[in-house]
């Protein structure tokens, strides 16, 4: 079978494409190159440039490559931007997904894996977030991800498609420096960016009800995340509609371990050699005190467990950052 990976030249997408191809799966990547980098993909993975909302292009790609499964990663994902531009997020993340699903149904594709987010939960006051924790997103980005889950599941049930929705927690690190995240919207590259410019890292909120007052988060190495996609994709065959396990699956992708932002800042200082005391600023609206996944379903039902720790995430992310910012290394 052949898997189409939308957003396949992106930070997460390239890791997923490489992991699946290395495991013997046939893969084709689709990316509009707005944030994708062609060089992230090896030459033996075909890269189609274009949008997942382009129905004519989708029909052609699904047919020419005999696609039998889709991993949908392409989406807008900046929380702040989603608040400022909700129409843009609903258009791309929801209306665009509808176009993709219509093409999938028409082509007879029978497997669909959807990239969701822990943002669907909002800010639940629980020690561990399970898949049964009520979903109450607090921003348009999280709303579009939850709406996307509904669309995917409903389409799967109506048209005999095995589906899976993966709710990512905080993704970090890189399998290779060349594959690292080029953005600065996540906390680790945000720390790197400030240190590179000779500024103190910022911590938002020092008065949370946590051991050190800073928010606690669950971090997952992007290489582990990619391997989780492979495990779920291969499991979809056993979850064919009408089968004994059911045709849809929803799982958290995290380590089940919390790390505070202050602890993370200390680890960044150790790894980078930039021992600059962070500055603590007021909480941002909607920031949860604690957001840690229960990974029991992935372990129990699919036998998958994250293998890489937070230090490895920071070290690999730092190597990627320094590849693009050689001036960042401490003298």
pLDDT value at 324 more than 80: yes
CA-closest candidate to residue 233, choices 62, 2, 65: 2
The pLDDT assigned to 242 comes to 42
Q: What percent of the chain has pLDDT over 90?
A: 91
- pLDDT category of residue 240 using cuts at 50, 70 and 90: low
Q: Name the residue ranges covered by the structural domains of the chain.
A: 2-171+220-253, 172-218+255-328
The pLDDT assigned to 244 comes to 39
Q: What are phi and psi of 70, to 5 degrees?
A: -125, 135
Q: What is the DSSP letter of 238?
A: G
The pLDDT assigned to 115 comes to 98
3-class secondary-structure state, position 153: helix
Bridging pattern class, strands 290-291 and 216-217: parallel
Q: Which residue has the tokens 């996609």?
A: 229
- 283-303 pLDDT, tens per residue? 888 788 999 999 999 999 899
Q: What is the DSSP letter of 123?
A: S
Determine the Cα–Cα distance for residues 117 and 138; give it in Å rounded to an integer: 13
Which strands form 26-31's sheet, in the order they lie side by side?
A: 47-49, 26-31, 2-6, 67-72, 111-117, 162-168, 248-253
pLDDT value at 243 more than 90: no
pLDDT value at 246 more than 70: no
CATH of domain 172-218+255-328: 3.90.25.10
End-to-end CA distance of the chain: 51
Beta-carbon contacts of residue 223 (< 8 Å; ≥ 6 apart):
15, 19, 173, 174, 175, 308
Same fold, 2-171+220-253 and 172-218+255-328: no
Q: What is the DSSP letter of 227?
A: H
Determine the Cα–Cα distance for residues 158 and 122; give it in Å rounded to an integer: 28
The pLDDT assigned to 185 comes to 87
Give the predicted TM-score (pTM) of the model: 0.95
pLDDT value at 133 more than 80: yes
CA-closest candidate to residue 315, choices 255, 262, 258, 271: 271
The pLDDT assigned to 306 comes to 95
Task: Give the right CATH number for 2-171+220-253 from 3.40.630.30, 3.40.50.970, 3.40.50.720, 3.30.70.3280.
Answer: 3.40.50.720
89, 121, 141, 168: which one is catalytic? 141
pLDDT value at 1 more than 90: no
For the residues 64-70, what does the mean pLDDT come to? 97
**Is residue 141 annotated as a catalytic residue, yes or no?**
yes
CA-closest candidate to residue 255, choices 229, 291, 286, 288: 291
Tell me the average pLDDT of the chain.
94
The pLDDT assigned to 286 comes to 79
């Amino acid at each position: 079978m052949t898997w189409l990976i939308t957003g396949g030249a992106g930070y997460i997408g390239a890791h997923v494409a490489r992991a699946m191809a290395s495991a013997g799966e046939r893969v084709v990547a689709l990316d509009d190159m707005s944030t994708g980098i062609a060089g992230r993909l090896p030459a033996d993975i075909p890269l189609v440039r274009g949008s997942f909302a382009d129905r004519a292009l989708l029909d052609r790609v699904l047919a020419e490559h005999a696609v039998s499964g889709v991993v949908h990663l392409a989406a807008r994902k900046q929380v702040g931007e989603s608040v400022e531009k909700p129409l843009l997020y609903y258009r791309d993340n929801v209306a665009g997904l509808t176009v993709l699903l219509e093409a999938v149904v028409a082509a007879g594709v029978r497997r669909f894996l959807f990239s969701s987010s822990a943002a669907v939960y909002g800010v639940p006051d629980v020690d561990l977030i399970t898949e049964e924790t009520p979903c109450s997103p607090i921003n348009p980005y999280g709303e579009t991800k939850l709406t996307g889950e509904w669309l995917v599941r409903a389409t799967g049930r109506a048209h005999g498609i095995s589906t899976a929705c993966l709710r990512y927690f905080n993704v970090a690190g890189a399998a290779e420096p060349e594959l690292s995240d080029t953005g600065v919207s996540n906390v680790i590259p945000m720390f790197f960016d400030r240190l590179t410019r000779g500024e103190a890292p910022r911590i938002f909120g020092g008065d949370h009800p946590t051991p050190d007052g800073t928010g606690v988060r669950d971090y997952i190495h992007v290489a582990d995340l990619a391997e989780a996609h492979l495990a779920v994709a291969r499991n979809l065959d056993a979850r064919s509609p009408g089968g004994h396990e059911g045709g849809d699956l929803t799982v958290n992708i995290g380590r089940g371990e919390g790390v505070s932002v202050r602890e993370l800042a200390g680890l960044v200082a150790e790894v980078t050699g930039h021992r600059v005391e962070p500055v603590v600023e007021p909480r941002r609206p909607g920031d949860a005190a604690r957001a840690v996944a229960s990974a029991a379903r992935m372990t129990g039902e699919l036998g998958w467990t994250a293998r890489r720790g937070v230090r490895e995430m920071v070290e690999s992310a730092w190597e990627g950052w320094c590849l693009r910012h050689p001036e960042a290394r401490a003298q």
